[in-house]
Amino acid sequence: MRVETNERRGERIDAIDQRLISFITKLGWVPVPVPNLGVGIAEWLLAVAPEGLVLSGGNDLCVVGGDAPERDATEVGILEWASSRHLPVLGICRGMQLIALMNGAKLERRANHAGVEHDIYGTLSGRVPSHHVWCIQSLPKTFEVLANSEDGSVEAITSPDHRTLGIMWHPERMKKVRPVDVEWIARTLGGCDPR
């Protein structure tokens, strides 16, 4: 979950966009928000036993100036835990950036990707909402590209076994959820059936 600070109360808060919860339910999955526990996340995941994981957007990664180290530690733990159990993972925006970094890619700052809609091309195509300033500079090892933007930035990736999927746009922030996003995410990560 995103980390926010309430200065008035002196609190750091785990938060999630309600639209993301709604989008996850459209996939037929049962969302259970994961707290930013850092190093204790493996024990929490073992107790909850999720069948798949979603890494949401929000907060820059600390390696590019972000200020939520507890989130970075939690999500690194989530990816390691999911990998060791061969669980499906969907990374949205920041989630895709972390997946890429953990698999050998580098990030670079790019203009014209924050607060805009732009077209993507490739196996996946269409107009999508973009809310990031950090793009993937190089393709992660063993991953394949599913979509690029007009300027060549990588917009969607998947692992060879299709158990990990990363997208740079926010399907939950569309005025109306695109059925194509629901269909191909559910199809690609089909091993995640929480029913």
Residue carrying the six token digits 């180290």: 69
Question: Which of 70, 66, 65, 62 lies closest to 1, judged by CA?
Answer: 70
Summarize the chain as % helix, strand, coil (round to 5).
30, 30, 40
Which is catalytic among the residues 75, 135, 155, 172? 172
Of 75, 135, 155, 170, the catalytic one is: 170
Residues 117, 74: contact at Cβ < 8 Å? no
Cα 193 to Cα 149: distance, rounded to the nearest angstrom: 31
User: Is 192 assigned a catalytic role?
Assistant: no
Tokens of 180: 């194509």
Distance, CA of 36 to chain centre: 15
What are residue 149's phi and psi, to 5 degrees? -90, 180
Catalytic site residue from 75, 93, 132, 155: 93
**62 labelled catalytic:** no
Q: At 73, give phi and psi (nearest 5°).
A: -65, -40
Q: Is 170 a catalytic residue?
A: yes
| Residues annotated as catalytic (active site), given as ranges | 93, 170, 172
